Amino acid sequence: MRNPLTTLIARAAEVTTTVPPRPAFLRHCVLALVAAVAAAGSFSAHAQAFPTKPVTLVIPFAAGGPTDLLGRALAQSMGASLGQAVIVENRVGAGGTVASAYVARATKDGYTLLLHHIGMSTAPSLYRKLSFDPLKDFEYLGQVADVPMTVIGRPNLPANTPQELIAYLQREGKAVNLSHAGLGAASQLCGMLLQQAVGAESTTVPFQGTAPALTALIGGQVDLMCDQSMQTVQHIKAGKVKLYGVTTRERLKPLPDAPTLREAGLKDFEVVVWHGLYAPKATPAPVLAALNTALKAALKDPALIKRLDDVGVQVVKEGLQTPEALHAQLSAEVNRWGALIRQAGTYAD
Ligand code: MLT
């Protein structure tokens, strides 16, 4: 079958017989088309060889935090499958939108990827002047993992049980400092739902990720936060923070004594942080296929599964490790959060 660009060259050559000759101009056109064919050929060969150099995985929050920890574990396993290093790069700010905008504009060659969570779906409602569209500017590689959250307090917070915490929040109101990782971050969404469920308004304190927020909590500079088990389990077990409850329907395996917030009386309370892997829109299909294969291989890696299981995190089922499943999840979540955010009238800009 004839390559469309070759056909175009042939047509350009035919034009020389019907149009009064402008030799220099036509020669320029033909040479440009020949160069385009050569570039297309070399790109497709490049795509088949993918990857020939390290891949960058952009993380939208601070190093050492839950997204970073998940990203580094994923990068290691994907790198083993791809036969190339996957290097983590933290690009923080504006609840994860700085990193998303960066990847949306990155070269479409599969060497720049984004790991993001539920925050990808809240961004278009929270940030009305967003420079990218989560539903149009990306290729969707697949869902990755569902991460539970924990509600934790500074070590000397004068509340020892979830019921005491609820009473404390209701009594102290704005005197309570509730930290989070920026508008649209999972910690902010969970904190917002917690305040609604408890019927009390706290003072919120944003950080560039829950890694610095957790340091402030351990140091007693803030009072409370919701954070993903990916980061908190080790600090809870070491007694560095107080644990009040988990945000899942079921208790967590690594924290069997911690009640769910439902058990503690907050009816229907549930937050699970879903994650997806993205590439810039129009990345070539063979490159996307290679990346999806590597994602699936990583999510079967026993070392990765154990690393996550130890902190109560499940990789998603195989049927969700697909572009279609991630796109469907993102679309549904954009609609769900859009309605909630419009109702709440809370915007970042
Ligand atoms: C982080 O890695 O800091 C978190 O994922 C931020 C958040 O969404 O709470």
Q: Which two tokens stand for residue 100?
A: 């998303």
Task: Judge whether 183 and 348 are in contact, CB under 8 Å.
Answer: yes
Please tell me the distance from the alpha carbon of residue 143 to that of residue 116, in angstroms, as a whole number.
Answer: 10
Regarding the beta carbon of 119 and ligand 1, being less than 6 Å apart is answered yes
Regarding the beta carbon of 179 and ligand 1, being less than 6 Å apart is answered no
The kind and range of the H/E element at 284 are none
Task: Judge whether 213 and 207 are in contact, CB under 8 Å.
Answer: yes
| Nearest alpha carbon, ligand 1 atom 5 | 67
The reported pTM is 0.85
Please tell me the distance from the alpha carbon of residue 300 to that of residue 319, in angstroms, as a whole number.
Answer: 13
Please tell me the distance from the alpha carbon of residue 176 to that of residue 9, in angstroms, as a whole number.
Answer: 70
Alpha carbon of 27 to ligand 1 centroid (Å): 56
Regarding the beta carbon of 77 and ligand 1, being less than 6 Å apart is answered no
- Residue pLDDT tens, the chain, 349 long: 333 333 333 333 333 323 333 445 445 544 444 444 444 444 444 456 899 999 999 999 999 999 999 999 999 999 999 999 999 999 999 889 999 999 999 999 999 999 999 999 999 999 888 999 999 999 999 999 999 999 999 999 999 999 999 999 999 999 999 999 988 899 999 999 999 999 999 999 999 999 999 999 999 999 999 999 999 999 999 999 999 999 999 999 999 999 999 999 999 999 999 999 999 999 999 999 999 999 999 999 999 999 999 999 999 999 999 999 999 999 999 999 888 888 877 777 7
Regarding the beta carbon of 99 and ligand 1, being less than 6 Å apart is answered no
Q: Which atom of ligand 1 is nearest to the CA of 59?
A: 2
Please tell me the distance from the alpha carbon of residue 313 to that of residue 25, in angstroms, as a whole number.
Answer: 62
- Residue ranges and CATH numbers for the domains of the chain are 55-147+272-344 (3.40.190.150), 149-246 (3.40.190.10)
Which of 193, 214, 228 to mutate to test ligand 1, by most ligand atoms within 8 A of the CB atom? 228
| Nearest alpha carbon, ligand 1 atom 3 | 209
Please tell me the distance from the alpha carbon of residue 142 to that of residue 234, in angstroms, as a whole number.
Answer: 28
Backbone angles phi, psi at 205, to 5 degrees: -125, 110
